[in-house]
Each structure stands twice: as structure tokens, then as C-alpha cells.
Amino acid sequence: MSTDNRQTNTAPSGGFSLLGWTEQLSETQFAYLLLVPTFLVLGIIAFWPLLRTFQISLHKDALIGAKAFGSFVALQNYQQLLTGTGSVAAMLSRPFLPDVTLSGSFPFVDVKNVFTSAFSVTLIFAVVSVAFETVIGFGQALVLDQNFRGRRWVRVAIIVPWAVPVVIQGMIFYLLFQPNIGFVVGPLHQWGLLSSTPLSNSQDSLFIVIVADIWKTSAFMALLILAGLQSIDRGLYEVAEVAGASPWQRFRQITLPLVLPTVMVAMLFRSIQAMRVFGIINTVSSCSTVPSLTCLTYTAWSQRLYGSSATVAFMTAAIIALLVGFYIFKYREEAV
């Protein structure tokens, strides 16, 4: 075999010269070489659509004529989207950003349309749902990590919501919050928590959508965190117990630091999903009542406003990229 090698090296021709060349590469270079096909595939299925979306977002919407989009307007669509002026802002079903005005008196900032602007609605949804799902999921994972009688049934009970398809989940919550059908609207309305027709009210609907998402997705967090918990060396707890550590100290000093990287990864996945929320909104309420970023992209697209739709889509991708960047930064900090 080594003789073959030498021959190839001395007589570089055709495909064999390439093979010879691979032998000269360092371990890192070779690893990257092997990754090239993956990058190519990723490029085709991920980066090309992203670039194409960006390219379309630099064009005006075409309402008349057979063309899909109009003339090149550079970044004007972005400027109109962010300032809430011009044709992009006028044609979109809901504004992208809430109205923020500064005032001289407390609280100095007056924010309007928080529950009807795509960015604020999506952000509220993502932050609140991910926070609750993490805490609840963590709690569920801690329970599942214990050995007790009937643990198998508890596991099933916790995982069941995760197995429910989004349309059925949507239907459950839709019916639950239909006055005269669902039993929860009456009492919640009497306690002043919801209006009498919550699914036609943006604020109430957002609350309902968040609750629906927490109900379903906490199980996902629980499963990921459970995997992290189970990879912790049990010996550490025994040592801590012998050393007289209280349960809280054991959690604080062992469980939390060791499971934190897993929790961060789980939160990252959930946050990306939450920033793209669409299905649960569409099934429980409507994109008009709870306008998430994806909803805005979708409604603009179905109204054939391709330029505007691409602009919102690219902004959504950029926001998610920022979010991912933030998590990766924090993750590296944790790791260091």
C-alpha cells in the first residue's frame, strides 16, 4: 500500500493527483475538505433561498401586471417597514413595530399597539413562553429523574401534550375559549382576567396562545433537560451527601452547573421555534388578531405582496440570527 502511495506521488496524473493532494493536507484541512459536500448541500437548501429572499426584498410589490415583483428600490422596503411609513407599512396587515413616543412625564415612553405589532407580539410570545416552559420543564425533569412507583405513567402523562398535533391542540384551545362552548371563559371573565370574547381580542388571544404553547411544549423542554440530568455522575451526589450538603446545596452546586449547558441548548431550540410561531396562532385565533412575524410574512405573501413579504421574512431571519448569536455567546461564556 505504501508502494502505491509513492507511485502516485511521483506520477501525478488525473484523479490520482487529487488523491495524492489529499494526503498532503493537515488533519484540519482534510476535515474541512470532507465537509465541503455538506456545505454545498446546506448552501443550496439554506443560503440560496435566504439570498434570494433578500434579493426580492429589495424590490417593490407589483400589484398590477403579470410580474411577481416590481422595480428595484434598494433598502427602501426596510426603511418603510421600520419607520411605519410608505406603501410597505400601509399594505401590511399589521404594523411591524409598535408606536413609541417619548413624553416629558413618567413613564417617559408611551408605547401603543404592543399587542398588535408583529415584533412586539413575537418577542412577548417568545420570552414568556420560553421562560415558563424552561421552569416547568425543569421541574418536570427533576420529578422524572427520581425513582418512584408509577414513574412510567407520570412520564407518559407529561409527554402526551407533546404528541398532540398542532391542529388538534389548536382546536382544544379554540373550543375552550369559545363563549357558550368552553367552560373557562365565564369564570375568567368574572375574575377580570379575560374579556367576554377573548379570541377576538389581541391581548387575550396572545395570552391564550402562550398558555397553549406552554401546555404543549414544556414536555419538550422536560425531555431535553432530563437527558442532561441523567448524564450527571451519581457519585457526585453521594460524595456531597457524605460531606453533609443539603438538598438545595446539592442542586445549586452540582445539578444546576452541570445541567446548564443542556438547558441553554434546549432554550436555544425553543427560542428559535418560538420566534417563528405560526401554527398555534392560526388554529386558535387568527393571524389578524395575533400578528406574529411569520403571520405577517404569510399574510403579505398570500396577498401577493412579494416584496413586503420577503422584507419581513428576511428581518425575521436576521432577528433569529441575532438571538442565536446571543445564545452562542452566552454558551461560550458558560463554557469558559
Contact track, another protein, 92-121, x by CB under 8 A? xxx---------------------------
- Given 161, 195, 254, 265, the residue binding another protein (CB under 8 A): 195
Q: Is 109 helix (H, G, I), strand (E, B) or coil?
A: strand
Q: Which long-range contacts (CB under 8 A, 24 or more apart) does 67-74 make?
A: 68/306, 69/306, 69/307, 70/307, 73/307
Tell me how crowded residue 109 is: count the other CB atoms within 10 A of its CB: 9
Closest to another protein by CB, 41 or 260? 41
Contact criterion met (CB below 8 Å) for 277 and 121:
no
Query: Quick one: which segment of 120-128, 164-172, 194-202, 219-227 binds another protein (CB under 8 A)?
Result: 194-202
- Given 114, 179, 237, 269, the residue binding another protein (CB under 8 A): 179
- Given 50, 82, 91, 240, the residue binding another protein (CB under 8 A): 91
Contact criterion met (CB below 8 Å) for 159 and 223:
yes
Contact track, another protein, 24-43, x by CB under 8 A? ---x--x------x------
Identify residues 47-66 at the interface with another protein (CB under 8 A).
63-66
Considering the rule CB under 8 A, would residue 1 count as an interface residue with another protein? yes
Considering the rule CB under 8 A, would residue 76 count as an interface residue with another protein? no
Closest to another protein by CB, 79 or 197? 197
Q: How far apart are CA 225 and CA 15, in angstroms?
A: 49
Query: Quick one: which segment of 89-97, 165-173, 213-221, 325-333 binds another protein (CB under 8 A)?
Result: 89-97
Considering the rule CB under 8 A, would residue 7 count as an interface residue with another protein? no
Return the bridge partners of 319, or none. Answer: none
Identify residues 239-298 at the interface with another protein (CB under 8 A).
286, 288-289
Helix, strand and coil percent figures for the chain, each rounded to 5: 70, 5, 25
Q: Report, in Å, the least distance between residue 12 CB and another protein.
A: 13
Q: Report, in Å, the least distance between residue 175 CB and another protein.
A: 10
- Given 7, 11, 17, 22, the residue binding another protein (CB under 8 A): 22
Residue-wise DSSP of 215-283: HHHHHHHHHHHHHHHHTS-HHHHHHHHHTT--HHHHIIIIIHHHHHHHHHHHHHHHHHHHHT--HHHHH
Contact criterion met (CB below 8 Å) for 234 and 224:
no
Closest to another protein by CB, 273 or 288? 288
Amino acid (one-letter) located at 128:
V
- Given 199, 208, 280, 284, the residue binding another protein (CB under 8 A): 199
Count Cβ neighbours within 10 Å for each residue of 141-174 and write b for 16 or more, e otherwise: bbebbeeeeeeeeebeebeebbeeebeebbebbb
Considering the rule CB under 8 A, would residue 17 count as an interface residue with another protein? no
- Three-class HEC string of 176-191: HCCCCCCCCHHHHHHC
Query: Quick one: which segment of 12-20, 46-54, 123-131, 249-257 binds another protein (CB under 8 A)?
Result: 12-20
**What residues line the site for another protein (CB under 8 A)?**
1-2, 5, 8, 15, 18-19, 22-23, 27, 30, 37, 63-66, 68, 86-87, 89-94, 178-180, 195-197, 199-201, 286, 288-289, 299, 302-305
